[in-house]
Amino acid sequence: MNPKKTGPRHTELGPTDLERISEFLLSEKLELEKRINAIHSHARDPLEADSAEQAAQLGNVAVKAALEHEALEEVAEINAALQRLEAGNYGICVGCGEDIGKERLNARPWSSECLDCAELG
């Protein structure tokens, strides 16, 4: 692996690609925030009086908590990707400083590492 390079770099992504990715990231972030808000509003629902129903509801709470955690992590990754876009170093691996690759970014636009570094991590 190469050492990290400093300062903004250009990737194989053009301005049109970067604009499309930015729009997608913002849209995805909005959807995740809606999902998190829905989880929060359902968390405030009172438990049923029936103990069997309460057990099922508590099981649902655990699932919803896991979904919320996953959504919060994805929002954080999206925010970091948006910051990299602003800084001009989107598409550059934070691990080795090489291009992440257009295919990987198309599949997972919030990726901060190239496939090699992600597999090592």
Q: How many CA atoms lie within 13 A of 9 on its CB side?
A: 14
Q: How far apart are CA 11 and CA 92, in angstroms?
A: 7
Q: For residue 71, is it within any domain?
A: yes
Asked if 2 contacts 81 with a C-beta cutoff of 8 angstroms, the reply is: no
**Which helix (DSSP H) or strand (DSSP E) does residue 32 occupy?**
helix 15-43
* Rounded Cα–Cα distance for residues 24 and 32 (Å): 12
> Does the pLDDT of residue 6 top 60, yes or no?
no
Question: Any bridge partners for residue 92, and if so which?
Answer: 99
Q: Flag whether 53 is in a domain.
A: yes
**The Cα angle at residue 40 between residues 38 and 44, in degrees rounded to 5:** 115
d(CA 101, CA 115): 9
Asked whether residue 77 is assigned to any structural domain, the reply reads yes
pLDDT higher than threshold 90 for residue 11: no
Provide the domain limits for residue 79: 15-90
What's residue 14's pLDDT? 87
Within a domain: 96: no
* Total number of domains constituting the chain: 1
Confidence (pTM):
0.77
Query: Where does the pLDDT of residue 64 fall: very low under 50, low under 70, confident under 90, or very high at 90 and above?
Result: confident
119 is a domain residue: no
